[in-house]
Amino acid sequence: MMDLGASVIARLKNKAQTSGMSFQVHLRLFCQEEFLRRLSLSKYADNLVLKGGLFLFVLTGFESRATIDVDFLLRQIPGSVEDARRIVSEIINTPSGNDFITFEMSSFEEITPQRKYKGVSFQLTGKIKNTKTPFNVDFGIGDVIVPKAEKRIVPPQLDTFAPPEISTYSLESTVAEKFDAMLQRMELTSRMKDYYDLYFIAHTFDFDGRKLQEAIMQTLQNRGTNYDRSSFDEIISFSENDAMLVKWRQFLRRTKLPNIEFSEVTGLLNTFLGGIWNAVINEEEWHKNWSCQTASW
C-alpha cells in the first residue's frame, strides 16, 4: 500500500526544484490548503471568510507576496476563545480522505486591542510523517465586506488533490482594510506589507471605482477610524521619510521581494487612491474604472 505521506513530501520537494519557492513554503501551503479543504467540508464553510495575505497569494496563483499567516473573518457565530477552540477542533477533525496529515492546535488568545480589530489568534501545526509545520491563524470579527464575500477555488499544490472551494473576501474590502491600517498607524506602522500589497493589487487587478469607494467608506466608518483631509497626503509624503525608507528596505530584504523604490510605491498609491480619497472627503461619488494595465483611471 502506498505511503501517501512520504509520496506528498517527495512530490513537494520535486515541485520546489522548479517553482522558485522552497520546499518549506510548499509544505506550509499544502498544510494550509488541507485546513481549507477540511473547512470547506465542515459546517463552518460559510462562517469563515478567507482574507489577508494567503487570500491574495491564492487569488494570484501564488504570484504575490508569500505569507505565513492565515486570516479569516468569522461571521454569524460567536467568536470567543472557547468558541474558536471548539470550531477549530471540529474543522481539523472533519474527514477529508487525507488521514496522513494531522493537525495540532495551540496558543489560543484574544487579539489585543492594539491590533485594531477584535478576534482570536492561535497556532496550528500540520504533521506529515516526521515533518511539523506551524502557522498562525487569526479569526477576526466585526468587519464588513463590500460588495460581498465570494466563493473561490483554491488551486491545489498537487494536482491529485481536490481543490477546496471556500468563502473569500472581496478585493475591494482587501484594499479598504489595508488602506485603513495605513491611516490608523501612519508613520508608526511596521506593516510595510500593506504598502507592497496595495502596489501589487493596483498593478494586477481592475476595479469599479464606485465599489472600491464604498468599501473604503464602510470600512473606515465601521472601524471608527479618525482621519482628515490631510491624512492621505501624509501617507504619500512618507516616500521622503528616512525612518519609513529604512523600514521599506528591511521589508524587501526580509521578504526577498524585488527592489522597488518606495517613491514608486507611494506614487502609484497616489494615482490609485488619491481621487477616491478626495471624493470621500468631499462626499462625492467616484464613477471611474481602474485599469491595471495602464495603471490609471
pLDDT, one tens digit per residue, over 213-244 is 999 999 999 988 888 889 999 999 999 999 99
**What digits encode the pLDDT tens for the residues 37-73?**
999 999 999 999 999 888 988 888 766 676 778 999 9
| 8 Å CB contact between 205 and 292 | yes
Q: Residue 241, Cβ neighbours under 10 Å: how many?
A: 15
> Which residues fall within 8 angstroms of residue 161, CB to CB, at 6 or more apart?
33, 37, 98
C-alpha cell at 13: 520537494
Closest CA to 28 of 103, 93, 119: 103
Residue 271 banded pLDDT, cuts 50, 70, 90: very high
Look at residue 67 in the predicted model and tell me its pLDDT: 72
What are the residue ranges spanned by the domains of the chain? 4-167, 172-290
Pairing of strands 70-74, 101-110: unpaired
Q: Is the pLDDT of residue 115 over 60?
A: no
Whether the predicted pLDDT of 176 surpasses 90 = yes
Angle at 178 between CA 72 and CA 212, to 5 degrees: 95
- The predicted pLDDT at position 64 comes to 65
**Cα 275 from Cα 95, distance rounded (Å):** 49
Name the DSSP letter for residue 111: P
Cell numbers that stand for 111 in this block? 487579539
pLDDT tens digits, 121-144: 999 999 999 999 999 999 999 999
Query: pLDDT at position 297, please?
Result: 98
User: What is the arithmetic mean of pLDDT over 75-79?
Assistant: 92
